[in-house]
Structure 1
Amino acid sequence: MSREPILLKLKSLLPSLAEQERKAAEYILQYPYDVIGWPITEFSRACGVSNTTIIRLCRRLDGDGYRRFKIELAKEIGSPDSLVYPEVRPEDPLSAIAEKIFAANIQALRDTLKVLDLEALNRAVEAILAARRVDIYAIGGAGIAARELHFKCMQLGITANAYLDSQMQMMSASVLTPHDVGIGISHSGLHRHTAEALRLARASGATIISLTSYPDSPVAAEADIALYTSTWGSPSQDSPSVRSAQLAVVDVIYEAMLVKGREQTQEKLGRVARAIAEHIT
């Protein structure tokens, strides 16, 4: 089986799966404990797909059949770090809501650490440090991470902009150069305007970095350097855990830039800190 946890990989594959495969995948994600106890015929009947569809899905997960898939799934959900994503229900008291939200955020951070590609992360840090200009594109909730990355870059004296408006994104992307970096942030990776901005920036010669949860998405497809978060929920879901995972990756990028570009950033960081201190005193 793949080194990536099965349930995380299933989630990341959802947008690229055919309708029948997606039905089986969603059933596994919702009822993993049932699936490990069923023969393939019972599972296919429960989710309304053919045995062939289930076998094909198992192969997409780098497995060699349904039996092996169940063994690996059983190991995963029986581990101390098994994936638990509690849903908030209308009848939940405030204490339960708080516990579930915190649990989902903690799990999202753990999962993102598991799928974080350190080599890609290092390349992203080097590209940002070397860039003449860094333009960041996001829509909706992803704008929080975009603005945070913009702020972090400016702290280090890196010329950066965050564009959350689609027309501004197109204008920015069209004038980038090979000395620049364009960054697209999108949980689903499906936002058409963000993907189009990255396509334009890439055509201009800029280095493209993406941060999504879905490898087969249009935004990730445009990237020279693809970074991933791993958060529960559908591609359209903008949950608190999505933002937590994105912001954690932004924090890692910032700290890595501080360490890797110490000579380049330290003096500028000091100048920025002094300017702010003088302004507020």
Structure 2
Amino acid sequence: MNDARAVGAQIRVRLPSLTPLEGKVAAAILARKDITDTTPLREIAEAAGVSEPMVVKVAKKLGFDGFRDFRQGLIEYYQSESASLHTEITPDDTPGVIVQKVFRTAMQALEETFAILDLEAFDRAADYLHRARHRDFYGVGGSAQIARDVSHKFLRIGIRSSVFDDSHMMMMSAALLGPDDVAIAFSHSGETAAVLDAVELARKNGARTIAVTNYSESTLAHSVDVVLCSTAENSPLLGENATARIAQLNLLDALFVAVAQKDRATADANLARTMRAVQFKRKQ
């Protein structure tokens, strides 16, 4: 991994592929922010309560060549500015400190999401959306709010889309999609049953499918044509979802601009029309 900012993110997006025991080992290693290039494999294994081969196995499942590569990646990551942005919120924090910590955690999510972004996948997603006849967005809870935000932006430039946050409506939508259509699935975990079912049906009917998720090894990520990954470090109070939402909103803002650029003249003309249509609603 050439970009130190990407190390923590690459580990987090692969965590769902680990067994509970492997996940425990990974968490124990990630907690070792004092790790150095002389920290022996034996010490890490003993601290985690597992064998040395188990530590090597976890390192490889997380995308490294072995323990030494894993160790070096962590050293470089913890020395990066991105890793230092995140600090846990404590009960004694003042309002000023809370604001600083929340903002810096969001900045970390943006930095690391940018570092792991697959630009080829991003461009394919923009192309699918530009060419599509129908664009249907699926998500529940907070993910549905992200879907609505991007749908609103697309409407401003004349690109129509529909947002579905009900399991039955998602399935009805997916049943009507075909080869000229696109379905975008929004799911932080990548394991939301209603979204998975709808995506499976949409793809069965020939539609292009795109996932916006936090985990590249999730069921959803393995079920679609294109995966756009966000990443965020978990926080006991804020949680992953809240911070990842900032990264996903920015990622989709970029996707919106990329789609607009496919036919900039039309996008600009439609933007002017929609702005004029709502202008009179503002108090003078």
TM-score under structure 2 length normalisation: 0.90
Task: State the distance in 1 between where 2:139 and 2:119 align.
Answer: 23
SS at match of 1:136: strand
Q: Report the identity percentage.
A: 33
- Is the Cα–Cα contact under 8 Å of residues 148 and 250 in structure 1 kept in the other structure? no
Aligned equivalent of 2:134: 133
Q: How many residues align?
A: 280
Q: Which amino acid aligns with 2:251?
A: V
**CA deviations over 1:169-224 (Å, ceiling 9, x no partner):** 11111111211110001111111111111111111211101111111111112211
Task: State the distance in 2 between where 1:192 and 1:81 align.
Answer: 33
Aligned equivalent of 2:276: 274
Q: CA separation of 1:207/1:83 partners in 2, compared to 1, >3 Å: closer, same or farther?
A: farther
- Is the Cα–Cα contact under 8 Å of residues 230 and 248 in structure 2 kept in the other structure? yes
- 1:133-212 to 2 correspondence within 5 Å? 133-212=134-213
- Is the Cα–Cα contact under 8 Å of residues 143 and 186 in structure 2 kept in the other structure? yes
- Is the Cα–Cα contact under 8 Å of residues 132 and 180 in structure 1 kept in the other structure? yes
Task: State the distance in 1 between where 2:244 and 2:26 align.
Answer: 20
Q: Which amino acid aligns with 2:72?
A: I
Task: State the distance in 2 between where 1:3 and 1:78 align.
Answer: 12
Q: Which amino acid aligns with 2:273?
A: R
Q: Structure 2 residue aligned with 1:244, among 240, 243, 246?
A: 246
Aligned equivalent of 2:125: 124
Aligned equivalent of 2:100: 99
Q: CA separation of 1:35/1:16 partners in 2, compared to 1, >3 Å: closer, same or farther?
A: farther
Q: CA separation of 1:244/1:164 partners in 2, compared to 1, >3 Å: closer, same or farther?
A: same
- Is the Cα–Cα contact under 8 Å of residues 184 and 211 in structure 1 kept in the other structure? yes
SS at match of 1:90: coil
Matched, 1:254 2:243: no
Q: CA separation of 1:243/1:81 partners in 2, compared to 1, >3 Å: closer, same or farther?
A: closer
Task: State the distance in 2 between where 1:137 and 1:191 align.
Answer: 10
User: What is the Cα deviation at residue 69 of structure 1?
Assistant: 2.4
**CA deviations over 1:214-256 (Å, ceiling 9, x no partner):** 111111122111111111128x945431110010011101111
Matched, 1:8 2:37: no
User: What is the Cα deviation at residue 40 of structure 1?
Assistant: 1.7
User: What is the Cα deviation at residue 153 of structure 1?
Assistant: 1.4
- Is the Cα–Cα contact under 8 Å of residues 156 and 266 in structure 1 kept in the other structure? yes
**CA deviations over 1:67-122 (Å, ceiling 9, x no partner):** 33222321221234435422222232222211110010000000111011111111
When structure 1 is superposed on structure 2, of 113-122 and 237-246 the one drifting more is: 237-246
When structure 1 is superposed on structure 2, of 98-107 and 16-25 the one drifting more is: 16-25
Q: CA separation of 1:229/1:74 partners in 2, compared to 1, >3 Å: closer, same or farther?
A: same
Aligned equivalent of 1:231: 232
Q: CA separation of 1:201/1:53 partners in 2, compared to 1, >3 Å: closer, same or farther?
A: same
Q: Which runs of 5+ in 2 are unaligned?
A: none
- Is the Cα–Cα contact under 8 Å of residues 27 and 47 in structure 1 kept in the other structure? yes
- 1:215-230 to 2 correspondence within 5 Å? 215-230=216-231
**CA deviations over 1:133-170 (Å, ceiling 9, x no partner):** 11101111112211111101111211201111222111
Task: State the distance in 2 between where 1:272 and 1:166 align.
Answer: 31
Aligned equivalent of 2:33: 32
Q: Which runs of 5+ in 1 are unaligned?
A: none
User: What is the Cα deviation at residue 36 of structure 1?
Assistant: 5.8
Task: State the distance in 2 between where 1:278 and 1:95 align.
Answer: 39
User: What is the Cα deviation at residue 49 of structure 1?
Assistant: 2.0
